[in-house]
Structure 1
Amino acid sequence: MHAHPIALRIALAAAVSAWGGSAFGAEAAGPSFSCAGVGKGSIEQAVCADAGLSALDRKLARVYGEAAGKAANEHPPVLKAEQRGWIKGRNDCWKAGDRRACVEEQYVLRIAELQARYRLVPSTGPVRFACGGAPGNELVATFFETEPPTLIAERGDEASLMYGQPAASGARYQGRNESFWEHQGEARVTWGYGAPEMTCRKAP
């Protein structure tokens, strides 16, 4: 459920700026992992050497701990496996042109994803939308107060996590292959790669 659209950078910058006073300036501690013996030139070393990234790592560790508590009875137990995959993805940021921005984005998106998926922050919904004029074609959206904002949309037996995007009006979200743009009770939704746009209206 990871999404990394370029348009997220504005929202991410706002989120990081909002955290600046508490997350970055309050502590001089390192990350949640030991910096002893980390590889020279590695992403772990970059996190250890950067107060802002260390703060994000500590925040992710706290959020992951909260998620793990809720995932105790999860079958199959996917949280640990997904976190290992996330760490690999974070470490692949060594290939990026701007490594720090890449790592920062990885942390911010992962924190928001865990907070939404495991319901660790306040939410609004579920809100039901009827799509394409067909009552049976329903989309259910739950909105989460993460940074950046997120929503989880469900349609049939499928679900998509989407991240808030800058928008001139309304609320716009983008997932891996799905998008949702709501304005005044009407939403334009794409569901799946190359799928046509649907018009969905909030159900009474």
Structure 2
Amino acid sequence: MAAHRNALRITLVATVAWGGPALAAESVGPSFSCAGVETGSIERMVCSDADLSALDRKLAGVYGEAAGKAANEHPPTLKAEQRGWIKGRNDCWKADDRRACVEEQYRLRIAELQAKYRLVPSIGPVRFACDGQAANELTTTFFETDPPTMIAERGDAVSLMVGQPAASGARYQGRNESFWEHQGEARVTWGYGAPEMTCRKAP
């Protein structure tokens, strides 16, 4: 009888500590339901991997914050972009290392949303005059995301760039833009095939 009471007490303590069986299950799975998820799919990989599930839950939280800020967005692009991102994530089945591909997709999407919707601390705006022309200005804002990101604006064009490894200075790469700053001077490429510009911090 005493052994039974001790076992019951241990069970109750464990249940309280972990929030109960149902809560424990919710805390380790992804933000979506794994019921009926196809075997061998990317979703099944996320469901069966604790770290990927945690990234999925984090993305869901960040997406919720972004949706609050995008309520008056015109045109409303957030939902469409997220559907496109899910398709891109699921295309990781084509990758040689599927898990690494999925993890990278999550980290980049989280960082992108945090930067685009200003959900994390930032430094800037920092202005650069390019090729010695004050009118040829580049405005940059740097975000404390993981990986680091920056948003650069030049005229009416905007580019989100992601931090890259660099032996010195800070290097960022966008779709068709690149930025490498070292000691107040930046080498910038803006657009596919465009010549490199030399930009210096504006006073």
Q: Same fold (TM over 0.5)?
A: yes
2:144 aligned with 1:145: yes
User: How much does 1:137 deviate?
Assistant: 0.3
- CA distance in 1 between partners of 2:102 and 2:195 (Å): 33
Q: Equivalent pairs: percent with the same residue?
A: 86
Question: Unpaired runs of 5+ in structure 2?
Answer: 1-25
Query: Helix, strand or coil: the match of 1:137?
Result: strand
1:35-74, aligned counterparts within 5 Å? 35-74=34-73
Q: Which TM-score applies when normalising by structure 2?
A: 0.87
Higher RCO (C-alpha under 8 Å, 6+ residues apart): 1
User: How much does 1:80 deviate?
Assistant: 0.3
Q: In structure 2, what is the equivalent of residue 164 of structure 1?
A: 163
Higher helix share: 2
Question: Unpaired runs of 5+ in structure 1?
Answer: 1-26
Report the RMSD for the aligned CA atoms in angstroms: 0.9
Could you list the per-position Cα deviations for residues 51-79 of structure 1 after superposition, in whole angstroms to 9, with x for gaps in the alignment? 01000000000000000000000011000
1:115-126, aligned counterparts within 5 Å? 115-126=114-125
May I ask how many residue pairs the two structures share in their alignment?
Answer: 178
2:117 aligned with 1:87: no
Query: Helix, strand or coil: the match of 2:134?
Result: coil
- CA distance in 2 between partners of 1:72 and 1:31 (Å): 25
Could you list the per-position Cα deviations for residues 130-180 of structure 1 after superposition, in whole angstroms to 9, with x for gaps in the alignment? 001111100000000000110000000000000001111111000111000
Query: Helix, strand or coil: the match of 1:136?
Result: strand
AA partner of residue 45 (structure 2): A
2:194 aligned with 1:195: yes
- CA distance in 1 between partners of 2:54 and 2:119 (Å): 19
- CA distance in 2 between partners of 1:198 and 1:52 (Å): 41
Query: Helix, strand or coil: the match of 1:69?
Result: helix
- CA distance in 2 between partners of 1:154 and 1:167 (Å): 22
AA partner of residue 80 (structure 1): K
AA partner of residue 36 (structure 1): A
2:55 aligned with 1:32: no
AA partner of residue 198 (structure 1): M
Q: Which TM-score applies when normalising by structure 1?
A: 0.86
Could you list the per-position Cα deviations for residues 65-106 of structure 1 after superposition, in whole angstroms to 9, with x for gaps in the alignment? 000000000011000000000000000001111000000000
Q: In structure 1, what is the equivalent of residue 14 of structure 2?
A: none
Say whether the 8 Å CA contact 1:28–1:51 is kept in structure 2.
no
Q: Structure 1 segments of 4 or more deviating over 6 A?
A: none
AA partner of residue 95 (structure 2): A
- CA distance in 1 between partners of 2:160 and 2:124 (Å): 14
- CA distance in 1 between partners of 2:126 and 2:151 (Å): 11
Query: Helix, strand or coil: the match of 1:201?
Result: strand
Query: Helix, strand or coil: the match of 1:135?
Result: strand
Query: Helix, strand or coil: the match of 1:153?
Result: strand
AA partner of residue 92 (structure 1): D
- CA distance in 1 between partners of 2:61 and 2:145 (Å): 15
User: How much does 1:40 deviate?
Assistant: 1.1
